[in-house]
Chain A
Amino acid sequence: MKRIISMLAALALVLALAVPCAVAEEKDNWLHIFYTDDPESLDVQATTDSYTIPLNCFDRLVETDTVDGEPQVIPGLADSWDISDDGLTYTFHLHPGVTFQNGDPFTADDVVYTVNRMMDPVNLTKNYDLYYGIVEGAAEYRDGESDAGVTGVTAIDDETVEFKLVTPCASFLSRLATPGGAVYNRESTEGVEDFGVNPAVCFGTGPFQVTEWELGSTVTLTANKDYFKGAPAIDGIVMHIVSDADTQRMMFEQGTVDVFNFDYAESQLQWFLDNGYADQIVSGTRAGTYYFMFNTAIEPLDNVNVRKALQMAVDRQTILDQMYGGEGALLSSFIPAGILSHNPDAEPIPYDPEQAKQILADEGYADGFDMELAVMADSKTSLDISTILCSYFQAVGVRATVTQYDESSYYDIRRDGQLPSYYNSWSADYNDPDNFLDTFFARHNTVGRSVNYSNEEILDLIDAAGLMTDADERLAAYQKIDNAVVHEDAVVLPLYQRNHLFCLSPRVQGFKVSWNGWSDMSFYGITLAD
């Protein structure tokens, strides 16, 4: 008994001595951020959602950055580029003297290797549509019809690389600037099987190098002092893997993490606002659209006037205010602000339930009709918003119900064009309207997205717009398409675009909210105050 008591006393003493220094104030020059899960892979060709590694550790031939408030293509590994008059040949002049993080020189051959690695059918890469059907020989190589590799990309000399396209593609540069365009080192990557999982063999040209990956715990990115655009001002980045939202918030309170990204913990926003952090919250427009998509193959949604009535039935501003504290802006076009050809003067969609009822009565639905809204079962917010939309539709007499689908059934049914109308969001992968309009409404996609859009004139125009090389003509074409799908044919109800929200520790300086729709960003420009 005495021994037990003395053991307890000793334990208490040890704890008492240890506790005051347990949470050491980390004033190091490392940026601490958190993620809810480990990155899927260090190999961006094999992932479509872990973009922090490619955006911070690799470079692309060109990059997208916000210049004077507008996203623009700027030089990356290529200092300059020429485009032939027919829009089919792109010649990139590479920055001389660039080296990979292991010291290997970067040459045009590495670009050729990167493109071929992406299209090699053996590799099962997920981002291959970057080049598929666009660069000569890419589709044939991928589909196994040719083993000559991607014939359309060649190294003219060490500092010049040339792309030959199948047809003109106005979004080609923007596509190259996406994370999937990250350029790999042939010398250290070719034939290396654990490239995606082993930091010791992962070398890009970017400002940070992956130096450690402790599964489920941390990923460490160390500053590349030899970065060709200049060494980063911080020593590196520590990505903490923390799945619990409350824990994430308390880590921020403790000062263990410097950046709180609300994308990973929406539930915590109110706490931050209520507890005196409002001044530390920064926001920026997100190039993404939240929308309600009508499946026009399901009666009576095949009737354009019915769809227009439903558009009018929803008070979008109230949803934005109630769900997101008003952090965002209503959209009257499908293409959001920040993406080329966004039309800020699009005609507003009114909230007018009385007129909606009138239209429905005129169309013979005075007694309403049955309507199903599809939602994925694992998203609480989507369910909430679908339920709100449902109640707005009910308010104009429609017998709307929400059906939950498990994730897999949802995608399977949607692929077959059978998914009932649904609420969802789409964020920009690259800054081009075809990333929005082609993805949902083009002939080869509209069934797979369960839109079943059938206006032949507009479908033709979507196909044609992808090939246009004249910028003004193309812009006008996409505005016309946007106007058709939102206003004339009303196949989609754009709701709003939300803001990117971050809460920053006061020591973080130079933080720039990125233009795109992803949750991941580059931290190259950041400095940390003492």
Chain B
Amino acid sequence: MVKHIAKRILVTIPVLLGIVLLIFFMLQVVPGDPVTVMMKEHLKEDVVEGLRQSMHLDDPFFVRYYHYILDMLHGDLGTSWKLSRPVTGLIAGAFPYTLRLAVAAALFSWIMGIPVGIISAVKKNSLIDHLSMGVSLFGVSMPVFWVALILQNTFKNVLPVSGVKSWTGYILPTIVLGWSSAGRIARLTRSNLLEVLRNDYIRTARSKGLSPLKVITRHALKNALIPVITVMAIQISSLLSGAVITESVFAIPGVGSLAVSAINNRDMPLLQGTVIFTALLIIAGNLVADILYSVIDPRIRVD
């Protein structure tokens, strides 16, 4: 088991290096000089030159990449051009907001998704099944910004539409972010449960005279939820990284808002930092899902 986990962790190192190289390269080939953009109407040659030097923009590509990797290993992702603060500190300050939102959204999606999936499976092809599957398809398909706008407009008289100074500020963004995940989980729970319910051991349980409720909770759910649990693990990492639009619509100062502000201001170090951090989260999420899977289902490890 330990060997398996160690192997999985080792594999992530080249993946991470590749991601950094790719991000670094993509942001370098974006046309235009960031200093020119920063100065806008107030262009002054000597300031431009000074800033270019202080940002190491005149160094060759691989020199900059080498230094970036070295600094990154020391936990230094550079200094934000616009905000003049270390990128690591900015991300560390913003991450708790993103984490809180992602965890709340994940909880929301489980609490909504799993029961709805179970009910739909049990009452297969009934009105309630069609209705709840229709709603979850809607949830999966609707763009986040649209759901956000509709919810804001509907609840603006009773709930805050921006900021998270009080916990009530989290309610709308949690629903917006968790909505499509809830739909996905509901659909996954339903299809897995339906498959499990066709198995022989379920028929056996029923013929033993167990109540339908007991058949579902004691026997069917345990097996049906295995794939759902691994999806949930991956889902947390995608919720952590996918909150960009939700955060900027609801003015939540998380990592997503940082990324948007970095793009608007062409703040390369900050943008690189947020993208690399997000990639790390996704790698970590997949790793956890892998491990969880092999814990729950020992057959996986053999492969």
Residue in A22, A128, A242 with the greatest tally of chain B CB atoms within 10 Å? A22
Question: A4 at the A/B interface (Cβ < 8 Å)?
Answer: yes
Asked if A407 and B37 sit within 8 Å, CB to CB, the answer is yes
Asked if B162 and A411 sit within 8 Å, CB to CB, the answer is no
Asked if B40 and A22 sit within 8 Å, CB to CB, the answer is no
Given known contacts A40-B83, A240-B163, A411-B40, what 14 new A-B pairs fall within 8 Å (CB)?
A1-B213, A1-B216, A4-B111, A40-B82, A41-B84, A49-B40, A126-B39, A126-B42, A216-B258, A217-B163, A246-B249, A406-B31, A408-B32, A408-B33
Residue in A15, A250, A412 with the greatest tally of chain B CB atoms within 10 Å? A250
Question: Per-residue CB proximity of B219-258 to A under 8 Å, as 1/0?
Answer: 0000000000000000000000000000011111110011
Which parts of B44-67 form the interface with A (CB within 8 Å)?
44, 46-47, 50-51, 54
Listed A/B pairs (18) with beta-carbon separation below 8 Å: A11-B111, A19-B158, A23-B159, A48-B40, A124-B50, A216-B261, A217-B165, A242-B251, A243-B257, A243-B261, A244-B248, A247-B152, A250-B162, A406-B32, A407-B37, A408-B36, A408-B37, A415-B36
Asked if A254 and B161 sit within 8 Å, CB to CB, the answer is yes
Question: A71 at the A/B interface (Cβ < 8 Å)?
Answer: no
Asked if B160 and A22 sit within 8 Å, CB to CB, the answer is yes
Question: Per-residue CB proximity of A3-38 to B under 8 Å, as 1/0?
Answer: 011011001000100111011000000000000011
Q: How far is the CA of A39 from the CA of B172 in the complex (A)?
A: 27
CB-CB < 8 A to B94: which residues of A?
215-216
Q: How far is the CA of A196 from the CA of B84 in the complex (A)?
A: 8
Question: Per-residue CB proximity of A62-89 to B under 8 Å, as 1/0?
Answer: 0000000000000000000000000000
CB-CB < 8 A to B171: which residues of A?
15, 22
CB-CB < 8 A to A5: which residues of B?
115
Asked if A18 and B50 sit within 8 Å, CB to CB, the answer is no
Asked if B248 and A19 sit within 8 Å, CB to CB, the answer is no
> How many B residues, CB 8 Å from partner?
60
Nearest CB in chain B: distance from A434 CB, A: 16
CB-CB < 8 A to A214: which residues of B?
253
Which parts of B150-164 form the interface with A (CB within 8 Å)?
152-153, 156-163
CB-CB < 8 A to A218: which residues of B?
163, 165
Question: Per-residue CB proximity of A469-510 to B under 8 Å, as 1/0?
Answer: 000000000000000000000000000000000000000000
Q: How far is the CA of A215 from the CA of B86 in the complex (A)?
A: 13
CB-CB < 8 A to A241: which residues of B?
251, 253
Nearest CB in chain B: distance from A27 CB, A: 16
Question: A329 at the A/B interface (Cβ < 8 Å)?
Answer: no
Asked if B83 and A215 sit within 8 Å, CB to CB, the answer is yes
Determine the residue in chain A with the shortest Cβ distance to B153: A250
Question: B260 at the A/B interface (Cβ < 8 Å)?
Answer: yes
CB-CB < 8 A to B41: which residues of A?
48
Question: A370 at the A/B interface (Cβ < 8 Å)?
Answer: no
Question: Per-residue CB proximity of B126-162 to A under 8 Å, as 1/0?
Answer: 0000000000000000000000010011001111111
CB-CB < 8 A to A23: which residues of B?
157-160, 168
Asked if B83 and A20 sit within 8 Å, CB to CB, the answer is no
Question: B114 at the A/B interface (Cβ < 8 Å)?
Answer: yes
Asked if A7 and B265 sit within 8 Å, CB to CB, the answer is no
CB-CB < 8 A to A18: which residues of B?
168
Which parts of A386-426 form the interface with B (CB within 8 Å)?
406-409, 411-412, 415
Asked if A415 and B43 sit within 8 Å, CB to CB, the answer is yes
Asked if A48 and B83 sit within 8 Å, CB to CB, the answer is no
Question: A256 at the A/B interface (Cβ < 8 Å)?
Answer: yes
Asked if A197 and B83 sit within 8 Å, CB to CB, the answer is yes
Enumerate the 9 nearest inter-chain pairs by beta-carbon distance, A residue then B residue, closest first. A408-B32, A216-B253, A22-B168, A242-B251, A217-B253, A250-B161, A48-B42, A411-B36, A244-B249
Nearest CB in chain A: distance from B184 CB, A: 18
Question: A266 at the A/B interface (Cβ < 8 Å)?
Answer: no
Asked if B253 and A4 sit within 8 Å, CB to CB, the answer is no
Asked if A247 and B166 sit within 8 Å, CB to CB, the answer is no
Asked if B162 and A242 sit within 8 Å, CB to CB, the answer is yes
Which parts of A126-163 form the interface with B (CB within 8 Å)?
126-129, 142-143
Q: How far is the CA of A254 from the CA of B169 in the complex (A)?
A: 13
Nearest CB in chain A: distance from B36 CB, A: 5
Nearest CB in chain A: distance from B123 CB, A: 13
Total of A-B residue pairs, C-beta within 8 Å? 154
Task: Give which listed residue, B43, B44, B216, contacts A411 with CB less than 8 A.
Answer: B43
Q: How far is the CA of A246 from the CA of B30 in the complex (A)?
A: 30
Asked if A409 and B31 sit within 8 Å, CB to CB, the answer is yes
Which parts of B22-42 form the interface with A (CB within 8 Å)?
31-34, 36-37, 39-42
Q: How far is the CA of A116 from the CA of B222 in the complex (A)?
A: 73
Question: Per-residue CB proximity of B257-268 to A under 8 Å, as 1/0?
Answer: 110110011100
Q: How far is the CA of A412 from the CA of B217 in the complex (A)?
A: 67
Question: A263 at the A/B interface (Cβ < 8 Å)?
Answer: no
CB-CB < 8 A to B217: which residues of A?
1
Asked if A247 and B162 sit within 8 Å, CB to CB, the answer is yes
Given the interface contacts A253-B156, A411-B37, does A38 sit within 8 Å of B249 by beta carbon? no
Determine the residue in chain B with the shortest Cβ distance to A129: B44
Question: A231 at the A/B interface (Cβ < 8 Å)?
Answer: no
Given the interface contacts A38-B261, A126-B42, A215-B94, does A247 sit within 8 Å of B249 by beta carbon? yes
Q: How far is the CA of A334 from the CA of B9 in the complex (A)?
A: 65
Asked if A250 and B152 sit within 8 Å, CB to CB, the answer is yes
CB-CB < 8 A to A46: which residues of B?
84
CB-CB < 8 A to B84: which residues of A?
41, 46, 196-197
Question: B280 at the A/B interface (Cβ < 8 Å)?
Answer: no
CB-CB < 8 A to B75: which residues of A?
none
Q: How far is the CA of A1 from the CA of B115 in the complex (A)?
A: 8
Question: A448 at the A/B interface (Cβ < 8 Å)?
Answer: yes
Asked if A240 and B162 sit within 8 Å, CB to CB, the answer is yes
Task: Give which listed residue, B82, B162, B254, B266, contacts A256 with CB less than 8 A.
Answer: B162
Q: How far is the CA of A251 from the CA of B160 in the complex (A)?
A: 8
Q: How far is the CA of A12 from the CA of B51 in the complex (A)?
A: 54
Given the interface contacts A244-B248, A247-B250, A415-B43, does A407 sit within 8 Å of B32 by beta carbon? yes
CB-CB < 8 A to B19: which residues of A?
none
Q: How far is the CA of A124 from the CA of B84 in the complex (A)?
A: 13
Asked if B85 and A126 sit within 8 Å, CB to CB, the answer is no
Nearest CB in chain B: distance from A414 CB, A: 9
Asked if A4 and B115 sit within 8 Å, CB to CB, the answer is yes
Residue in A11, A20, A38, A49 with the greatest tally of chain B CB atoms within 10 Å? A38
Question: B90 at the A/B interface (Cβ < 8 Å)?
Answer: yes
Task: Give which listed residue, B90, B111, B115, B158, contacts A20 with CB less than 8 A.
Answer: B158
Q: How far is the CA of A76 from the CA of B188 in the complex (A)?
A: 68
Asked if A246 and B111 sit within 8 Å, CB to CB, the answer is no
Nearest CB in chain A: distance from B244 CB, A: 11
Q: How far is the CA of A256 from the CA of B254 in the complex (A)?
A: 21
CB-CB < 8 A to A40: which residues of B?
82-83
Determine the residue in chain B with the shortest Cβ distance to A214: B253
Asked if B115 and A8 sit within 8 Å, CB to CB, the answer is yes
Asked if B83 and A38 sit within 8 Å, CB to CB, the answer is yes
Q: How far is the CA of A126 from the CA of B35 in the complex (A)?
A: 12
Q: How far is the CA of A251 from the CA of B152 in the complex (A)?
A: 10
CB-CB < 8 A to B216: which residues of A?
1
Question: Per-residue CB proximity of A242-277 to B under 8 Å, as 1/0?
Answer: 111011001101101000000000000000000000
